[in-house]
Structure 1
Amino acid sequence: MKPIKSLIAIAFSCLPIMAFTQISSDLIAVDVKVTGSKLTITAGSEFLITDRPLYDNQPAFINDIQMAFSAADEKGNHDIIIYNFESGKFTNLTKTADLNEFSPSLTDCGLYVSAVTVEEDGKQRLWLYPTNFGEPELLYDDIAPVGYYDWYDNKAAMFVLGQPNTLVYPYSKSDVLTISENVGRAIKKRPKTSIITYVDKNDFKEIAGEKAFAIKGFDLENRQYQEYGLTIPGAEDLIWLNKNLILMAKDNELYIKKANENTWRKAGEINFPGYKNISRMAYSTELEKLVVVMERVED
């Protein structure tokens, strides 16, 4: 499989102040096994999916062979790209000269890839892009600016940028609940539950000079809060490997813990020449692959 070297050049449009960090980053895949409460990395299985001095980030598996991610071109425009693990090929889901798309995710119904879209006038809202490449649709016209989100019951729990940032869930147009304020960017549904989880930046402990934030959940069915311990100090990105296991990363190291435990255990490292600092992650149970975003090291 050859890593992507270039994307279609598309015209630049100005971005507002955003929650997305623009760094030169690539996607790296590694084979893993999740058994019980352990994650095991297959040594030597690491490979570059992308290889460009630009922004390739925010991976999300959309089925058992494909992954979506946000990619910038040389002019600064961002589109959603689909990568096929079987063929090693890339396809533009979006090719928009006047829009920028971030944070792709498969909707509950499976018919759309959603994305946070920065529109021509600077509005930052959630749009739906049909997987059959049909015309996109705006989902929530009055909720903005959206930064991050995840799905439950065909509705999106959304991180809305502001002072402070808020986490909201639209039960209906007239019932938009604010779940929490001052939340981090890791908005993730706990698998096989009705619980949306988030990082609460109001609640933290100082450990060795770094902040460890509380990981919390909100059950969207019974409207009750949950607690899942603290993040790794100095880190914020997390994903659920399954209903019971949370994965985080710091520097080049991976850490895992059960939802009902407070202690993180080191699961391994991803060391790839020319790269450092794992940030975003995506995991496929079917492929038994973990995809991580890592920052390119300048020569």
Structure 2
Amino acid sequence: MTTDDASLDVDLTAGQNAPRERREQIRKLVVDEGFVRIEELAETYNVSIMTIHRDLDALQSEGWLRKVRGGATARPSAQYHGDVRHRTEAMADIKQLLARTALDLVEPGQSVMVDESTTGLALAELLPGKSPLTVISNFLAIVKLLAGEPGIDLIALGGAYYPAYDAFLGMRTNEAIRSLRADILFMSTTAVTDGHCYHQSQETVAVKRALMEASTRRILLIDHTKFSKSGLYQLAPLTAFDLVIVDADTDPAILASMRTAGVPFQVAGRPSAAEDGGVASRGS
């Protein structure tokens, strides 16, 4: 290879890597800043506005950001769930309340599945207090949190890693789940519409369905904002869960419709079913 050929090869390699590196920098910038403008990105990286549009389209398809008029944002919307950092920060106090209510359902010695939701992460932080437990999860944040924790036998569900969700998803994850059977599952969902749970990701739906099939008892944890959001892919009806835990800001009309539909539910922070009528027995 001549010197000129070597230089050309380096230039081509750099050209191939440039879009990937630029998108990674844009992704980090959006997460840190919360919002970035297309014109400023084009000027910063010395590329055309159309190139930035393509970058943002690619990052949006991977679940990293939400493309809006004039730029991109990391803030969730009715259709976009937000990246892990923003999901963790959103409704943090309510997620803690939901988690504390859910913890009362856990008994030492049980096998507990927890999905990749940040509400599930809030619960995972409390689980060592109910040890000994076997905890099963595809959420890397939970795996890191509980790894080496005394009294916790941890089973990490592998598969294809999706950075936008900080979780393992896909066919291999589903296969790993099907080889197991847990006493109880705690999970959340992106949106609830007309009594059904929805998500924006087909991969997420497939894994959550596998988790539901592999659990004896299924508990859904959702804050009131889930009822105002929308999703593309249907996961399951609320009636597929043994208990739905909601927060006190949930619209009374929604609670009434759940009761009419026979959805067993509990309002976090309130007495359990028999005491305040917050839970409707399945089929009542």
TM (normalized to structure 1)? 0.27
Higher helix share: 2
TM (normalized to structure 2)? 0.28
Which one has the largest radius of gyration?
Answer: 2
